[in-house]
């Protein structure tokens, strides 16, 4: 099994690269990243531990792991589905095996619904940006067609 480690390659624009990476995360990809990391770092995490991973509280959390933890925090229904794969009572604790099972497809439609939500959220954000740009352009064009004030 592979482990998640930070790479030595630095992109020209790290925040843009990380943002792009975060945009590509899915329930299964985040689960795989967390499965590998959690297996090598204690075997299980509490939901509250995800916040520390997302914020890189230790200063040693790889960016991919932080992004995957952020994904789980922004999709609490996905995390609950993962942590209850082996125990139907949600207690906030998830072992690496739960993340691995989720990465292997055990979530079914829960992961798909989260992925669709992300797609719609990105589409809405893009639509808002397009509306803003076209409104600004139209306002500029309308201003050039007005008669000068005497």
Label residue 104 by pLDDT band (50, 70, 90). Answer: confident
Are the C-beta atoms of 67 and 21 separated by less than 8 Å? yes
What's this model's pTM, rounded to 2 decimal places? Answer: 0.58
pLDDT of residue 106: 79
Label residue 4 by pLDDT band (50, 70, 90). Answer: very low
Range scoring the smallest mean pLDDT among 47-56, 86-95, 117-126? 117-126
Q: Which residues contact 72 (CB under 8 A, 6 or more apart)?
A: 30, 34, 50, 78, 79, 82
Range scoring the smallest mean pLDDT among 20-29, 60-69, 97-106? 20-29
Q: Which two tokens stand for residue 91?
A: 């207690």
């Amino acid at each position: 099994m592979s482990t998640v480690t930070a790479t030595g390659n630095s992109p020209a624009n790290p925040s843009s690269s990380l943002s792009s990476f975060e945009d590509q995360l899915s329930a299964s990809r985040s689960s795989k990243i967390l499965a590998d990391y959690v297996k090598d770092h204690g075997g299980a995490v509490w939901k509250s531990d995800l916040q520390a991973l997302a914020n890189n509280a230790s200063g040693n959390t790889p960016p991919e792991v932080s992004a995957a933890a952020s994904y789980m925090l922004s999709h609490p229904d996905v995390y609950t589905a993962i942590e209850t794969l082996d125990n139907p009572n949600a207690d906030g604790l998830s072992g690496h095996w739960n993340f691995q099972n989720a990465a292997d497809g055990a979530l079914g439609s829960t992961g798909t619904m989260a992925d669709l939500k992300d797609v719609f959220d990105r589409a809405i954000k893009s639509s808002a940006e397009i509306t803003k740009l076209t409104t600004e352009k139209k306002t500029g064009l309308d201003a050039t067609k007005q008669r000068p004030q005497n």
